[in-house]
Structure 1
Amino acid sequence: MGAWGYCLFQSDHDFDMVSDLSHEAGLTKLGKDARVSAKAAGKSDEDIERDIFYSIYANLCSDPELVRRHLDSGILVDMIAKKETKMLTPRTTGLKEKLFGDWSTDPCYEYILLGACAMTLGCQLPATYLAMLKKVYTEGGVMPDGQRQMKKALFGPGGYKNGEPYDFKSKTILEEANSKPAKEPEDNGRGFMLMNVPGPGGFFNTGMTTTSTSLVIKELRSQLNKPNECGGCGVASRPKGEALLACGKCKNRKYCSTSCQKKHWKIHEKVCESAKVSL
């Protein structure tokens, strides 16, 4: 349930998600077929188990190049589209979620981790996907160190380039655990030892935004699902029935007045294509 470090790929949460993404990408079947072929070719069970293991995360994969080609055949593009739709679809929050929190996988975190995994393989990431990642990489519960890793990959220097495997330089869980100070963990007073740190997502609240609380995700959803409403107050037309005004920078957000636009700018600037230019 926890994490040994605050970077990407240092938590049970991340590796559970990597396993799910790998299965969704068809790597379970790909590996099974490869093991059957190897067995037919006379390889021993020991050699097969040692040599054939496919994952969407390159550091856990025996043949990253094969998996990269598999994903670049169109499978990755389909996965991205599905994850983006899920991320931008409003989530329903029932009584259980309000009382105990949401235990399910955060769609934004999954969207970001999919990109990180694809980068480790050197996949071809669509420009539209990279543009969206630049808007949401701080959201969905990604830990601060993970955010810094994604920022470097997306903006540089030495950032990700399509076709070139990218190293996030995350220590493995074992390396991170072994780098901890050599001292006995303290009893938390409830009869067990706290060996690591709370991980992102699930039961533990790390203080990061989720898909349900993120203003960035809320704005992106509103732009997509309510394109003909004022971003500030939600009206469908200006006071005299005139058409809404469009944001002069991105053209993707509409407003009933410059006053409404200025009040909404602190939120919209986070996703506006020319966000660094003031109104």
Structure 2
Amino acid sequence: MGRWGYRLFEGDMDIDLACDLVQSLGVNTKKWEYRPAQTVNQTDMLAPEDALARYKTKDYAKHLADVIVPSVRARFDKNNLGERLMAKSRTKEGKIDWDNLTSGEYKTIILGALLMRVGAKINEKDLQHLRDLVPQVVCIPGTTWALEDTGFRSPGQSQFLAALDAYEPGKPRNFQELR
């Protein structure tokens, strides 16, 4: 499985982005029954013990796979929202978000990872763009301090590239596993 903090959605910045990236791109997710952040990182070290215990149950895993992930995928696929979000995110590339020191390129990558996490539709042009962004984003060989957490950790980068290579619409990608 690997050490916590190295994979996608285990660093502080990844979690923060998963929580508010879609909303920062202009989509109000407050009325969504389930939000993209609920599909990632059920191993957060800072989560309360009762939450961590619940995340480990078979019932929760089934609910995540059968209800939460499909619900979020349906939101992204409806009216090509995922594609429209990718287009909007691309307009923010080449800029640094000074609130969290994250590049627009990395935000687009995290958006792509969220789309892959739920198996949402991603067109070939956007998949290629995501591949092209990978070498442009800072990659740190291990964990880092929160203020320096502005890009990939090495296993997360490998995970992302593997996810791109194996991407199939409708097939969710589990970033909890290192593959």
Normalized against structure 1, the TM-score is what?
Answer: 0.43
Gaps of 5+ in 1: 32-52, 172-279
Aligned to 1:30, the other structure's residue is in SS state: coil
Deviation per CA, 1:101-146: give whole Å up to 9, x if none: x843221111001111111101010111001111112332222111
Runs of 4+ in structure 1 deviating by more than 4 angstroms, as ranges, are none
Choose the corresponding residue for 1:118, options 95, 111, 115.
Answer: 115
Distance 1:20 1:134, change over 3 A: same
Q: Aligned partners of 1:121 and 1:68: how far apart in 2? A: 5
Q: What letter matches 1:11 in structure 2? A: G
Look at both structures and tell me which one has the larger radius of gyration over its CA atoms. 1
Choose the corresponding residue for 1:54, options 22, 35, 43.
Answer: 35
Q: Is the 2:95–2:103 Cα contact (8 Å) retained in structure 1?
A: no
Q: What letter matches 1:71 in structure 2? A: F
Is 1:164 aligned with 2:145?
Answer: no
Q: Aligned partners of 1:91 and 1:22: how far apart in 2? A: 17
Q: Which residue of structure 1 lines up, in the alignment, with residue 105 of structure 2?
A: 108
Q: Is the 2:38–2:68 Cα contact (8 Å) retained in structure 1?
A: no
Q: Which residue of structure 1 lines up, in the alignment, with residue 60 of structure 2?
A: none
Q: What letter matches 1:149 in structure 2? A: Q
* Larger RCO (CA within 8 A; separation ≥ 6): 2
CA RMSD between the two structures: 2.6
1:36-47 equivalence runs, <5 A:
none
Q: Aligned partners of 2:120 and 2:110: how far apart in 1? A: 14
Identity %: 28
Choose the corresponding residue for 2:160, options 150, 159, 168.
Answer: 150
Aligned to 1:161, the other structure's residue is in SS state: coil
Q: Which residue of structure 2 lines up, in the alignment, with residue 83 of structure 1?
A: 89
Q: Is the 1:21–1:56 Cα contact (8 Å) retained in structure 2?
A: no
Q: What letter matches 1:7 in structure 2? A: R
Q: What letter matches 1:146 in structure 2? A: G
Is 1:139 aligned with 2:136?
Answer: yes
Q: Is the 1:55–1:67 Cα contact (8 Å) retained in structure 2?
A: yes
Aligned to 2:135, the other structure's residue is in SS state: coil
Q: Which residue of structure 1 lines up, in the alignment, with residue 148 of structure 2?
A: none
Q: 1:4 Cα deviation (Å)?
A: 4.3
Gaps of 5+ in 2: 43-63, 139-151
Distance 1:91 1:14, change over 3 A: closer
Aligned to 1:137, the other structure's residue is in SS state: helix
Q: Is the 2:119–2:169 Cα contact (8 Å) retained in structure 1?
A: yes
Q: Is the 1:57–1:120 Cα contact (8 Å) retained in structure 2?
A: no
Q: Aligned partners of 1:56 and 1:79: how far apart in 2? A: 16
